[in-house]
Amino acid sequence: MADKGSVVRLPVVDGLGRTLRKDDWWVGPMVTFTVLTAFVVYTTVRMLEGTHYRWGPYLSPLASPYIETEDLGIPLLTPAILVLPFPGLFRFTCYYYRKAYYRSFGLLPPACAVGARRVGHYNGERKLLVFQNLHRYALYVALLFLVFLWHDFVASLRWDGELGMGLGSVVIFLNCAFLTLYTLSCHSFRHLVGGSVNSYSEAPFGRLRHALWAGVSRLNVNHMAFAWISLIVVALCDAYIRAVAVGAIRDVRLF
């Protein structure tokens, strides 16, 4: 609006990166770009590698639930390829990650009060990106995946029928814990458990839904932190199991 038909000069005009900000506004988007790119590259490589997802009682989160693909005889198909699209879609449509990649990849805008990338006609999430509204369906699948992951943790404590615990179980537990916090702090989950209610005092199960909504809201404040921590822990968990599986390191048996 500011530079349309105006005869007066303006201190800052439209254009990518144009700003009067003096701080290092580009650091945030650059770190986001780097970490997300690194994660996508790592998981893609692991997805195509097609092996070293299991060692002993441990199962990598990248291939959980484990579906054997060798017998299917489909070239390039790996257990991780069958699994990763689901958590991938959950993260891609996540309200936090949308902010992160719209800023760091889309440059729409790269940072607050910094000129956005000019596009022919900006449509936001109205046209091509309207599918982001399906985030709730990705959530339903993510909730199901949590069941598989916690099952994997319990299974990791079983060594030849005996109860035991290795460092891998600790890593898997941390992965389950942070993925649970990330999933349960989701905005769509917050809406699902009670956010859609207008009058808690009048709605069926209103008090319960208000309590659930308030609980999820408290988690939701830290959704960004859970998103990043769980992302990194997933990669570390897989890297640990792979390293043990290829013999690069030895698993530490705790008991």
Partner 1 sequence: MADASASTTEPVSTGAKYTLRIWRADAKVEGSGEFRDYEVETYPGMVVLDAIHEIQAKQAPDLAVRWNCKAGRCGSCSAEIDGKPKLLCMTRMSSFRPNEPIVVTPMKTWPLVKDLVTDVSHNYRVAKKIPPFTPRPRDADGHYRMQQEDIDRIQEFRKCIECFLCQDVCHVLRDHHEEAEFVGPRYLIHLATLDMHPLDTLDRRKMMKDELGLGYCNITRCCTEVCPEHIVITDNGIIPLKERVADEFYDPLRWLARKLFPRTKKRRLPVLPGIEPAPAARSAQAQQEEVEKEPAVPPAPTVARRTPA
CA–CA distance, 189 with 203 (Å, rounded to integer): 18
126 binds partner 1 (CB under 8 A): yes
203 binds partner 1 (CB under 8 A): yes
DSSP annotation of 118 reads P
CB 18 to partner 1: min, Å? 9
76-84, 110-118, 161-169, 241-249 -> range binding partner 1 (CB under 8 A) = 110-118
Do 250 and 185 touch, CB atoms closer than 8 A? Answer: no
Q: Which two tokens stand for residue 80?
A: 């991780």
48-56, 125-133, 175-183, 240-248 -> range binding partner 1 (CB under 8 A) = 125-133
CA nearest to 138, candidates 175, 99, 188: 188
How does 206-220 read in b/e, with b if 16+ C-beta sit within 10 Å? eeebbebbeebeebb
Number of residues that bind partner 1 (CB under 8 A): 58
Cis peptide upstream of residue 57 (ω within 30 degrees of 0): no
CB 92 to partner 1: min, Å? 14
24 binds partner 1 (CB under 8 A): no
54-62, 98-106, 145-153, 167-175 -> range binding partner 1 (CB under 8 A) = 98-106
Nearer to partner 1, 157 or 197 (CB): 197
Q: Which two tokens stand for residue 50?
A: 């097609």
How far is CA 116 from its chain centroid?
A: 25
Residues in the site for partner 1, rule: CB under 8 A?
1-2, 4, 6-12, 14, 19-23, 95, 98-99, 102-103, 106, 108-109, 112-113, 115-116, 118-119, 122-126, 129-130, 133-134, 136, 187-188, 190-191, 195-204, 207, 210, 220, 223
